[in-house]
């Protein structure tokens, strides 16, 4: 009887999973520990840009906040409390963990972060705008979009962005 051995491919996958778990814990701890320096400015910027764009397209929005807690987007008949969870900051943390866990050089990782972070910001602004527009035009869809559909889209965006980077690396590496 032969003893099972780990192939290089399996070893790499196992290593990625272990590193991903470790980096996911580190990023979650970092976002929680340095909330005022990381999560809150990100949330505020996303809320500000969303309000600016909504006002620009003719949807009147007032931006407010509760210092150190959340932003408030007020429209005619709806008030959104924009919290960290609304901004995709935790999905962004998982993206960072996936990039740091994957077998790549430092310049390749920095490249993934240099376009991944702005992509998440743009996506988060678009997400808030979709919710605001839904609340205005089809309010019965707001809860479904917020609680179900956009949560799935969040995960899909995270996986898509990371897969684009990994596939780009695979095309660039010598066979």
For the chain, give the mean pLDDT.
Answer: 87
pLDDT of residue 109: 93
Tokens of 60: 């009147």
Supply the pTM of this predicted model: 0.84
Domain contains 1:
no
Domain housing 61: 10-172
In the chain, what percentage of residues exceed pLDDT 70? 94
Domain contains 113:
yes
Q: What is the dihedral of CA 71, 49, 161, 168, to 10 degrees?
A: -150
Instruction: Please compute Rg for the chain using Cα positions.
Output: 19
Q: In the chain, how many domains are there?
A: 1
Q: Which residues pair with 64 in a beta bridge?
A: 72
Domain contains 5:
no
pLDDT one-digit tens code per residue, 66-110: 776 778 888 888 888 888 778 888 889 999 999 999 989 999 999
């Amino acid at each position: 009887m032969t003893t099972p051995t780990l192939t290089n491919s399996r070893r790499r996958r196992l290593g990625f999973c272990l590193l991903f778990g470790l980096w996911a814990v580190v990023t979650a701890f970092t976002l929680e520990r340095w909330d005022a320096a990381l999560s809150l400015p990100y949330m505020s910027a996303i809320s500000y840009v969303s309000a600016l764009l909504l006002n620009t397209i003719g949807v009147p929005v007032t931006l407010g906040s509760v210092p150190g807690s959340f932003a408030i987007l007020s429209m005619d008949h709806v008030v959104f409390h924009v919290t960290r969870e609304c901004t995709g900051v935790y999905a962004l943390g998982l993206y960072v963990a996936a990039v740091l866990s994957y077998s790549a050089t430092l310049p390749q990782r920095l490249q993934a972060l240099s376009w991944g972070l702005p992509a998440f910001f743009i996506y988060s602004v678009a997400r808030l705008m979709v919710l605001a527009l839904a609340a205005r035009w089809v309010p019965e869809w707001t809860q479904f979009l917020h609680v179900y559909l956009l949560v799935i889209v969040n995960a899909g965006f995270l996986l898509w962005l990371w897969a684009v980077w990994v596939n780009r690396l695979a095309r660039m590496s010598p066979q």
